[in-house]
Amino acid sequence: MAIKHFLQFKDLTRDEFEYLFERTRWIKQQFKSYKQYWPLVDRTLVMIFEKASTRTRLSFEAGAQQLGGSAIYLNTRDSQLGRGEPVEDAAQVISRMSDLVMIRTFEQEIIERFAANSRVPVINGLTNEYHPCQILADIFTFIEHRGPIKGKTVAWIGDSNNVCNTWLQAAEVLDFNVHVSTPPGYEVEPERAGLYGTDHYEEFSDPMEATRDADLVTTDVWTSMGFEAENEERMRDFEHWQVDAEMMAVAKPDALFMHCLPAHRGEEVAAEVIDGPQSVVWDEAENRLHAQKALMEYLLLGKISND
């Protein structure tokens, strides 16, 4: 059987996502009712971090252990990865000693080279271009609160970064729309976002217009990891792209607010929004755990039915 990787959102089909959302719901229920579920006994997840993380590390490590497996954490500083060992060699070795690998790194090309030399499935835990596990959890969160996402409108306000690119791919796979508003000079790059076309998103110069009648409003930091040198310039450029109460007021009355976190109150989001009644950011963060458990199980064991 060919190895299945999850390097970008479009690596899986709509059917596979529908299965994963159902499976996430079941796995979450088991967890919430303290039922032991150990499909990954004797399986080892290796997690490689070339950038900082709280949620991704915790959700993968706790997730693998809660499924009966184990997780090993490697970072650039304490491994040979930081001393120039070719990624292809690292992939050969790491994948002979483990069953599953999660990587957080810089260019998407790095994870692709790793996957091409890996004997086991590889999961993207964030690259400069994409963050597919985040959007898997975000869409599960939307479905939990509001039902199917097909045909809905998501407003993306801010930087057209890895999280934005992944929303755009997800819109193509799951058939919904994204209204994007970025400052001039930070617009979506369809090729970098890995899009098939331009018919699932629309760009707006005015963030209020992008937000109007949206079912979900979401944003992310103005400066992503790896782009710190641009921070000062970005603070100026993004000043008018803060999601605030006025902006939320033009979205649908039952619109949700999401943020992948970590957040900067007073920059990309006002405290009254992220801490307000429409915000589901804590459910969103928790769902990383449940959604990634479903993902790990699927990549290792295929479709399962316990119902």
Q: Is there binding between residue 182 and ligand CP (CB under 6 A)? A: no
Report, in Å, the least distance between residue 128 CB and ligand CP.
Answer: 13
Binding status of residue 165 toward ligand CP by CB under 6 A? no
* Identity of the residue, 143 or 261, whose beta carbon is nearer to ligand CP in the bound complex: 261
Token readout for 251 is: 């979205």
Is there binding between residue 124 and ligand NVA (CB under 6 A)?
no
Q: Which of 5, 23, 43, 104 is catalytic?
A: 104
Closest CA to 290 of 7, 59, 56: 59
274 binds ligand CP (CB under 6 A): no
Report whether 173 contacts 234 (CB < 8 A). no
Could you confirm whether 131 is annotated as catalytic? Answer: yes
Interatomic CA distance for residues 111 and 210, integer angstroms: 33
**Beta-carbon neighbour count of residue 246 at 10 Å?**
12
The DSSP code for 104 is E
The reply to whether 96 belongs to the active site is no
Catalytic residue among 55, 57, 288, 290: 288
Of 102 and 149, nearer to ligand CP (C-beta) is 102
Smallest gap from Cβ 168 to ligand CP, in A, equals: 18
User: Is position 285 an interface residue for ligand NVA (rule: CB under 6 A)?
Assistant: no
Does position 221 bind ligand NVA by CB under 6 A?
yes
Choose between 89 and 233: whose C-beta lies nearer to ligand NVA.
233
Check binding of 161 to ligand CP (CB under 6 A): no
In sequence order, the β-bridge partners of residue 157 are: 181, 219
Tokens of 307: 């119902």
Sign of the CA dihedral with 297 first, then 300, 306, and 307 last: positive
Q: Identify the three-state secondary structure at position 6.
A: strand
Nearest to 104 by CA among 68, 80, 134: 134
253 preceded by a cis bond (ω within 30 of 0): no
User: How many residues of this chain interact with ligand CP, rule: CB under 6 A?
Assistant: 8
Residue 18 neighbours by CB distance under 10 Å: 13
Name residues contacting ligand CP, limited to 51-90 (CB under 6 A).
53-56
132-146 vs 281-301: helix axis angle to the nearest 10?
Answer: 120
Q: Name which of 115, 135, 168 is nearest 3 in CA terms.
A: 115
Q: Mask: binding to ligand CP, 29-58, rule CB under 6 A, as x and -?
A: ------------------------xxxx--
Options 161, 211, 278, 287; binder of ligand NVA; rule CB under 6 A: 161
Of 108, 260, 278, 292, which residue is the catalytic one? 260
- Which does residue 221 bind out of ligand NVA, ligand CP, none, counting CB within 5 to 8 angstroms by kind? ligand NVA
The contacts of residue 167 (CB under 8 Å, 6+ apart) are: 135, 138, 154, 156, 178, 218
User: Counting contacts by CB under 6 A, is residue 224 touching ligand NVA?
Assistant: yes
Other beta carbons less than 10 A from residue 221's beta carbon:
23
288 is catalytic: yes
Question: Is 220 assigned a catalytic role?
Answer: yes
**Is 162 an interacting residue with respect to ligand CP (CB under 6 A)?**
no
Which residues of this chain interact with ligand CP, rule CB under 6 A?
Answer: 53-56, 126, 134, 260-261
Which residues of this chain interact with ligand NVA, rule CB under 6 A?
Answer: 126, 161-163, 220-221, 224-225, 260
Q: Give the catalytic positions in this structure.
A: 104, 131, 134, 220, 260, 288
